[in-house]
Structure 1
Amino acid sequence: MPDTPLHDLVVLADAALVDGRIAPAEVGVDDGVIAAVAPAGAGLRGRTTARVDGGRVLLPGIVDAHVHVNEPGRTEWEGFATATRAAAAGGVTTIIDMPLNSIPPTIDVDALAVKRAAAARAAHVDIGFWGGAVPSNAGARRALHDAGVFGFKAFLSPSGVDEFPPLDAAGLDAALDELAAFDGLLIVHAEDPDVLDAHANDGGPSARRFAESRPPEAELDAVRRVIDGIRRTGGRAHILHVSSAAVLPLIAEAKAEGLRLTAETCPHYLTLDVAHIPDGATAFKCCPPIRDEANQDLLWAGLVDGTLDCVVSDHSPATAELKLGFDGDFGRAWGGISGLQLALANVWTEARRRGVGLELVVDRMARATADLAGLAAKGRIQVGADADLVAFDPDAEFTVDAAALRHRNPVSAYDGRTLAGLADAVWLRGTPVEPDGEPIGRLLDRPAERSTA
């Protein structure tokens, strides 16, 4: 067909996830952007052609909106080179970096510039940045918003690092007031400090005892406070890493009321349960904690019905000494799961077991996370979107070897687990990503006009 344009790249897929359906398709790419999406057999022509077959599915690149890279300042925990290599290996083509645990934390424009300079040298995937809302930057957050952060993270209880203190009740109200004035997004680690204090215990090797020290009531009370705040201000908020299904009715009611609230959960809450965590296995420690199977079932129901908008890794690594070096004491070990590379495979493995389709998994991990950040050109295969694409084999099984993962420190709560789903080819804006090749990622700013999830 001589009138058919010659694209830079054409991907011919026996199965592609387009508009929520998996079907054969052809995708044409020009200048890094999807220029055509057509049914199989349409005859798109490309200077380069790639074929996705053999049971693989062409997916949009995963957008992980909750990643702690920790560089600069704690690069021995994780850095941009290792984190973005891990992302690409797992089919993640965009990450949004949290404002802690780097030093300095991303709480002002100068700190953002330091973070961007570190990331620019080593980005194997695209990277955006959250800012922080801490007591010291009250009244000065607009400048950070204008500098391109996607929103502002706040803790309502101690964060674990002294340079990123929490907001008290008055500070939360003031932050919601301040952000509402410019329609900024507050993303909240929602655990109430008074409840945590009331349930504190002396730690030890039991994961269940650790979970008891951070009960569902802590999340319930904190989420209520956030909802009250956005009801009062008309602002926007997002609840981070929901671990307790007890908060789902509150979130559903707030949405039904028309409040601008979204919420996420994480692979570890959807795939792990406290009864199967051995004593002393502090690789499983995270805050909020992993809970029981009945709770997990309810989280899945909330994900399927849309009460939970999205799934993110909350990749929060540390050195092996900080994770494992306290004789199995959950009270003293660092809290965080290193799961960036395995996020898609983890969720897909459990979804398949439960009869949940790949379409929903990818929607919650790509489209919804992109929409949360206002990245309309990410997380979907459609004309005008960035050509961030993944050839994913949903049936390929592998056994996790923590030492072989791409993140910096060889610690994983999933070590030894058998998972399904491999990303065996990844394109970033139409260019193949080679984790050991030159970094080709870009730094992203918050779009001037943003869409909300």
Structure 2
Amino acid sequence: MKLGETVSAVRSNRVLLGDQVRPAVILIQDGKIQRILKHTDFSGDAACEVLDVGDSVVMPGVVDCHVHVNEPGRTSWEGFWTATRAAAAGGVTTIVDMPLNSIPPTTTLGHFHEKLREAAEKCFVDTAFWGGVVPGNQLELRPMIQAGVAGFKCFLIHSGVEEFPHLTDCDLHAAMRQLQGTGSVLLFHAETEVQPTSEQNGDPTHYSTFLQSRPDVMEMEAIRTVARLCLQYRVRCHIVHLSSAEPLKLIQEARQAGAPLTVETTHHYLSLCAESIPAGATQFKCCPPIRGSANREKLWLALKEGHIDMVVSDHSPCTPDLKKLDSGDFTQAWGGISSLQFGLPLFWSSASKRGFKLCDVVRLLSQNTAQLCGLQGQKGGLAPGYDADLVVWDPERQFEVKANVHHKNKLSPYLGVTLLGAVRATIVRGQLVYREGSFCAEPLGKHLLVPPRRNQVQL
């Protein structure tokens, strides 16, 4: 079967159906899953293009709902062509593009239309889009919802780029009033400025110096604000890239009080720890920061207990010069980690050692992420009526991250690392877009415009 061709059926001895792995044949028609049969019930016919993957696992494709593509305006950092190829190579069948760091950011209806034009015919996987909330754009929010944005992102601290300023209390209330009754969701970069406890004058090449400049209390105080707003307005709110385990109790209390509040963490907070970051290794810098190993284990426990809803990449690339590797200065380097291609094996490499099952992978990387951005029932599941978005992978197979990086800029803290779980093939709406290191010749992904949601959906 050639890349780019439409697959009529996928057969495997290990298809994940619910929480069970068993032999099955997935029948596909018009890009949708039509039926799922037992091996013995499938006779096939000459016109049926069957992809038999043997003992490889077949699961719903990953839905990565936190990806910075940066096109237009900073395409040298990343663009839709390279980002979505990397996604396909990692078993990601849907990405949701963040409203920054593109120029212009996706903060007006006009900018959203510009983003759609730039992304046209460049996406190898399906792509949805977040809008952004910045000071003064509250009247743009409802038109963007009607146009199909999945929801909105905002910052409570400097975003790192001047064209996407953070919100004041007044701005937050104005945005919340606009979002009431829409069913849309507001995503928060949940850090806020706090008074420094001591002079920050350590060696800038030591990771500990940077870590001390972004203490846990910055996340704690920001999440306290988010929880209060969420309860006051009953607007769906979501905490992106939680790095600190300290606010988890606060989040649980808000949920128990009725707040429609969800939370994600990322692969780097689950895979890396502060104690192991070498001096000058600025490829590890991100905001919020990677914290200590004890904190990491608390995040894993929260995942297991259901207190963290999903895991995403927060793929935030830049050109190598912005990482300041020549000086090794953590205080000056761009904060962001590239991992879109490796999210599935990164998660599985650590999760499998902690007792997580394949059904947990789907719940945390596909099902809940699809639900957050309004794609439930279409993405993130293996059942009749869902898009035929499939990842074929070998959970037992190891590979080393080296020359096989498809992001535009290859710098990553995972270079040279051996991971568990190799992706063999990726199918998007029944079309074979990636297989064994090769891609279809032309991008086959489409834009996902999310219909307005009147009713709040909680995970």
TM range (shorter): over 0.9
The structure-2 alpha-carbon separation of the partners of 1:237 and 1:198, relative to structure 1 and needing over 3 Å to count, comes to farther
Check conservation: 1:33, 1:430, Cα contact below 8 A: yes
The answer to whether structure 1 residue 274 and structure 2 residue 274 are counterparts is yes
Please say which of residues 104-113 and 197-206 is displaced more in the overlay.
197-206
Q: Is the 1:18–1:380 Cα contact (8 Å) retained in structure 2?
A: no
Q: Which runs of 5+ in 2 are unaligned?
A: 1-5
Aligned pairs for 1:248-397 within 5 A: 248-325=248-325, 327-376=327-376, 377-397=378-398
Matching residue's letter, 2:108: D
Which residue of structure 1 lines up, in the alignment, with residue 57 of structure 2?
A: 57
CA–CA distance in 1 between the matches of 2:200 and 2:131? 30
Contact 1:273 1:296 (C-alpha < 8 Å) held by counterparts: yes
What corresponds to 1:24 in structure 2? 23
State the partner residue of 2:139. Answer: 139
- CA distance, structure 2, for counterparts of residue 452 and residue 119 of structure 1: 30
Q: 1:86-132 deviations in whole A, cap 9, x for unaligned?
A: 00000000000000000000001111111111111210000000000
Identity %: 45
Q: Which moved more, 1:38-47 or 1:114-123?
A: 38-47
Q: Deviations over 1:336-356 (max 9, x none)?
A: 000000111101000112222
Amino acid corresponding to residue 66 of structure 2 in structure 1: H
* More RCO (CA 8 Å, sep 6+): 2
- Alpha-carbon spacing, 1:230–1:320, altered in 2? closer, same or farther (3 Å): same
Is this contact kept in 2: 1:264–1:309, CA < 8 A? yes
Range with greater deviation from structure 2 (32-41 or 260-269): 32-41
Residues 8, 208 of structure 1: alpha-carbon distance in 2 compared, 3 angstrom cutoff:
closer
8 A contact 1:183–1:236 mirrored in 2? yes
SS of the aligned residue for 2:412 comes to coil
Shift in Å, 1:307: 0.9
Against the structure 1 CA distance between its residues 112 and 203, is the aligned structure 2 distance closer, same or farther, given a 3 Å change threshold?
farther
Distance (Å, rounded) in 2 between the aligned partners of 1:201 and 1:370: 43
- 2-side partners of 1:300 and 1:170: how far apart? 36
| Per-residue deviation, 1:44 | 5.4
Distance 1:429 1:297 in 2: 37
Root-mean-square deviation (Å): 1.7
Which residue in 1 is equivalent to 2:244? Answer: 244
Determine if contact 2:131/2:151 at 8 Å carries over to the other structure. Answer: yes
User: CA shift at 1:328, angstroms?
Assistant: 0.5
Match of 1:448 among 431, 437, 452: 452
Contact 1:216 1:246 in 2 (8 A): yes
Query: Retained in 2: the 8 A contact 1:26–1:40?
Result: yes
Q: Which is worse superposed, 309-318 or 418-427?
A: 418-427
Aligned partners of 1:77, 1:202: CA distance in 2, in Å?
30
1:397-440 Cα offsets, whole Å, 9 max, x none, are: 11111x43000011011011110111111111111004252100
Task: With the length of structure 1 as denominator, give the TM-score of the two structures.
Answer: 0.95
Q: Distance in 1 between matches of 2:203 and 2:172?
A: 29
Range 42-51 or range 417-426, more displaced? 42-51
Contact 2:191 2:219 survives alignment (8 Å): yes
Specify the alignment match of 1:109 in structure 2: 109
Q: Decide whether aligned partners of structure 1 residues 327 and 304 sit closer, same or farther in structure 2, where only a CA change above 3 A counts.
A: same
Distance in 2 (CA, whole Å) between partners of 1:99 and 1:448 is 18
Aligned: 1:89 with 2:93: no
Q: Distance in 1 between matches of 2:85 and 2:197?
A: 39
CA drift at 1:358: 2.2
Instruction: Go from structure 1 to structure 2 and tell me whether the alpha carbon gap of 1:382 and 1:429 turns closer, same or farther (over 3 Å shift).
Output: same
Contact 1:337 1:412 in 2 (8 A): yes
Quote the Cα distance in structure 1 between the aligned partners of 2:262 and 2:423: 28
Calculate the TM-score normalised by the size of structure 2.
0.94
SS of match in other structure, 2:41: coil
Q: Secondary structure at 2:224's aligned position in 1?
A: helix
